[in-house]
Amino acid sequence: MEHNGFYALDQKPNHNHEDRGGKAFATIVIVIVLVLLALLVVGLFWPGLLGGTVPEYALIEVTPTPEPGAEATAPPAQQEQPTEAPAATMAPSVADADRAMPNLDGIAPSLPGFADNPIPDIYEAVSPGVVGVLNYVEAQSAKGRTIYTIYGSGTGFVVSSAGYILTNAHVVEGATKITIKIFGEDQEWDAVLIGSDSETDIAVLKVEGTQLQPLKLGNSDLVRVGEYVLAIGNPLSTEQLANTITFGIISATMREVTIENYTNTYLQTDAAINFGNSGGPLINLNGEVIGINSAKTITAGYDEMGNAVSAEGIGFALPINQARRIMEVLITKGYVERPGIGVTVSTVDADVAEAREIPVGALVESVVKDRPAALAGVLAGDIITEANGEPILTHQQLVNIVLSRMIGDELKIKVYRDGAYLDITIVIGNKTDMDFDNVIGATPTPLPEATPTPKP
């Protein structure tokens, strides 16, 4: 409760004849307050008795899933008032015209000589092309109406004046509705998801009805360790810290990192990357995009007591050349096809094989339901010892063999199961269509240390 005015701390007590009137007045005030409190309690717990209704903003709580491991991913849901949806609708379908590859017409900014600091000029030229990306999901109000509430947010950047925006797949994952915010504007613009690829963590959006400034895409193959770079994005939220710029160097150019069981090659940088920076551009001193800021390591390991040791200055960006190839497939086709059989595997090496009296090979840890391996009869716990006549000594061998084949090809494997060997033929399918969370059975890895599990 707010009070106008103030109470004096040195106020002296009244005399006795004034006390009686004061006490009577205080009694009346207390009775009134008690009555008002009773009415308030009734109104809160039984609003219908007072003709009231449950407020529209009383939502079913939607809690964002924490990002895995080292990922600088979608931040916690922002505390913003949800917008009511006229009806529960899915994301708009993509028109055939949007499957034509647009002109990537970003232009590198004109910069002064390096005698002066070029970073302010780069920021002024590039920042208008960096946008906030908002991920909305459906929820139910207390009245049972469908509303949209923010699940998380991230960053994106414009790659074509035709309205195409590049961001991370995890930024828009699970979204019922996607919007973008242009720096300096209050309005949100609806975006259509043109395509998304979880394996490389790349998504393409398209926005119509507003003029967008595209950024120039550079050549990440030419990036060298030690080069200065800039990261622009929306750490923590799209409101308070929108279009924050940080500065650093390239720490490594071909760093293999596994996130969510997907291994990709990244540019490593010490430019500060935080939650919400995901999907934003990593920019060189020519004002060109050389990467997409995607992840960070927050722990360097664990001490002898098992406590996490924090890490600083270890961020990762997908090289723009790799992202561009995936982007073109997503725009023109809508999805990326990859050969797969629908299993997760780990290596049974010689030491484990000898200790457990089993053969060396690729241990099947899980099998995706109703997909090629399951349909062919592969079970969790099988050890694949041979594929197309080639002995399998590591799980990576099996992964490489599958990736080298085409969708529709046959893969002949030999598996060890319960002391016997079986020959099985699998017809390779499209890995993109496989849900690796929907599996039949699972068996723990026999390896002594926890390692990422590939998904061929």
CA separation for the pair 150, 48 (Å, rounded): 30
Q: Which of 141, 201, 220, 382 is catalytic?
A: 201
Three-state DSSP at 285 gives coil
pLDDT tens digits, residue range 270-317? 999 888 899 999 999 999 999 999 988 877 677 788 787 777 789 999
CA separation for the pair 264, 206 (Å, rounded): 25
Tell me, yes or no, if 196 is annotated catalytic. Answer: no
CATH number of the 224-325 domain: 2.40.10.10
pLDDT tens digits, residue range 207-237? 998 999 999 999 999 999 999 999 999 987 6
Residue 28, strand partner residues: none
**pLDDT, average across residues 74-101:** 50
pLDDT tens digits, residue range 55-86? 322 222 222 333 333 333 333 333 334 444 43
Tell me, yes or no, if 278 is annotated catalytic. Answer: yes
The share of the chain scoring above pLDDT 70, in percent, equals 74
Domain extent listing, the chain: 18-49, 224-325, 339-442
Q: Which of 237, 278, 346, 366 is catalytic?
A: 278
* Unique residue bearing structure tokens 């590591």: 394
Q: How confident is the model at residue 92 (pLDDT cuts 50, 70, 90)?
A: low
Do 210 and 182 touch, CB atoms closer than 8 A?
yes
Three-state DSSP at 362 gives strand
Q: Which helix (H) or strand (E) holds 263?
A: strand 262-269
Tell me, yes or no, if 418 is annotated catalytic. Answer: no
CA separation for the pair 315, 230 (Å, rounded): 12
Q: Which of 160, 170, 382, 395 is catalytic?
A: 170
CA separation for the pair 112, 106 (Å, rounded): 19
- Rounded to 5°, the CA angle 114-277-123 comes to 25
Average pLDDT over the chain, rounded to an integer: 79
**pLDDT, average across residues 25-53:** 48
CATH class for the region spanning 339-442? mainly beta
* Unique residue bearing structure tokens 């197309």: 388
Q: Is 444 a residue whose pLDDT tops 70?
A: no
